[in-house]
Chains A and B, each alone.
Chain A
């Protein structure tokens, strides 16, 4: 069993199109690159006098093992010594974030105005010494600076007056989830720390936990009932009260019209709509014909409904099945 190459390409395009907009900015990236370049310069100055080339080569071996991740011929760009490790407990639920390794942030579902009690146990290594540490909430952008994080709001804990002694330190943090924390929103518990050593400002930042709002329902129960009633009425008006299937997808007006042959993309292309597609034996007594349809009868009846008001916006009839998979346009629901 194999898959057609063309279909595979098309599916990859569809899947890739679901990626959200990048969260990083050019300025943040430039700041990171500048910082690494600064470190390299200072390291090179130190190393030039005292280290033999073999030692330099050894430093280029990635700290974590498993290759550099860069194309052949390029050594590992940054060797940050292991910093502290963490145990994070949010409202009684714990997770471990090791100093090294893939201990990614654990996700916690939170609701607006929820009061979180966050306990962070920081295990500081003996060497290098952790000279400063900040804990706080970010919106996913980590922009460390020598004098503390620029991206944390609020900063829930700071330890900058004296280096953290080797061993375990406990920070208890309280944070109220913002009232406007709607579906799809997220915040991160992040840490930034500085380490002692020959390079001033050596340190790192990482995300310890991720707080996300549960996704809102794409189709509320009330909407499903009203959408179904509306399309069945539409189908009845087109002389097939029992269509073979009815599918609904929540998408934008632009995508609904452009990708489904509903005519030119309107000005309000970003308006959220439900596109309803029915398969049956329809005649165009009721449905309007789009410029490209040209059929008085068809097997597919398309209806666009305003997602906010559930008012019908347009409908068209054609013999052509959906040009793209409905799932590629947004969340779908079978209304059959």
Chain B
């Protein structure tokens, strides 16, 4: 577990920036310190989390940056220093799901121009990492988010459900479908 999971509880909600000091949390400029500490000390961990979601390094960088910016951009709603990481992780998951939804919608209406892809390195092709990434890509964004939150972040099912805004039953169903899908993909990749 890499931080407290309850994003809502990790927010300080104030009506006036000047009241931040009254809450004992220092001046509003402290967000810079929290952001800097988070980016420096937990940037790599956040990137790994994003990489599992996106399966791509540059997209993972974008996802982490976007989540960090969104987490800290609202002056009246700033994450607590101790809970910022969990909050950012939840934002990342939701951004990823929203982004995937938008992409799928866009692909339906406007085929993108793409260059011919270069032939992959055979050594890379057989790697287990690629097998796992390919298997993860075969899952729906929600299934993938559930797998990452449950099995990588070790969040209980109830907290996964809270983070995604779905019921616990839905999370269990996503996890079950994801596990079955991953097993099939990984076994076929290994037998190939």
Contact = CB atoms under 8 A, between A and B. Distances in A.
Interface residues of B, number: 74
Interface in B91-145: 91, 94-95, 97-99, 101-103, 105-106, 110, 112-115, 118, 121, 123-124, 126-129, 132-133, 136
B151 A70 contact: no
Given A11-B128, A40-B75, A96-B112, A24 B186 contact: no
B9 to A, nearest CB: 11
B18 interface: no
B27 interface: no
Interface in A22-52: 22-30, 32-33, 36-37, 40-41
A185 B41 CA distance: 25
A94 B113 CA distance: 8
Given A12-B132, A24-B43, A140-B58, A33 B123 contact: no
Interface string A100-139: 0111001111000000000000000000000000000000
Given A68-B98, A98-B110, A102-B106, A325 B123 contact: no
Contacts of A140: 58, 61
B182 to A, nearest CB: 5
B170 interface: no
Contacts, number: 198
B163 interface: yes
A299 to B, nearest CB: 21
Contacts of A106: 113-115
A70 B70 contact: yes
B65 A29 contact: yes
A20 interface: yes
Given A22-B47, A331-B127, A71 B7 contact: yes
Given A66-B98, A101-B106, A331 B121 contact: yes
Contacts of A1: 180, 183-184, 187
B73 A12 contact: no
Contact of B179 (A3, A19, A74): A3
A332 interface: yes
A55 interface: no
A308 interface: no
Contacts of A14: 128-129, 132
A15 B151 CA distance: 13
Interface stretch (A210-218, A238-246, A253-261, A274-282): A210-218
Nearest to B120: A215
A13 B152 contact: yes
A78 interface: yes
A95 B115 contact: yes
B contacts with A: majority SS? helix
B122 to A, nearest CB: 8
A64 B101 CA distance: 11
Contacts of A27: 36
Contact of A24 (B64, B77, B151): B64
A33 B127 contact: no
B20 interface: no
A333 B102 CA distance: 39
B87 interface: yes
A16 B179 contact: no
Given A15-B136, A19-B47, A67 B115 contact: no
Contacts of B70: 69-70, 74, 77
Contacts of A96: 112-113
A179 interface: no
A137 B160 CA distance: 41
Contacts of A94: 113
Contacts of A17: 48
A233 to B, nearest CB: 23
Interface string A62-94: 001111111111100110000000000000011
A60 to B, nearest CB: 11
B161 interface: no
Given A12-B52, A33-B69, A217-B121, A22 B148 contact: no
Given A29-B35, A33-B69, 9 more contacts: A1-B180, A3-B186, A14-B128, A19-B51, A65-B102, A67-B97, A69-B98, A108-B115, A328-B129
State the 10 A-B residue pairs at the shortest beta-carbon distance, nearest first.
A19-B51, A69-B95, A26-B39, A327-B127, A16-B48, A327-B128, A3-B183, A26-B36, A69-B98, A36-B73
Interface of A: 1-3, 5, 8-9, 11-30, 32-33, 36-37, 40-41, 64-74, 77-78, 93-96, 98, 101-103, 106-109, 140, 210, 214-215, 217-219, 325, 327-328, 331-334
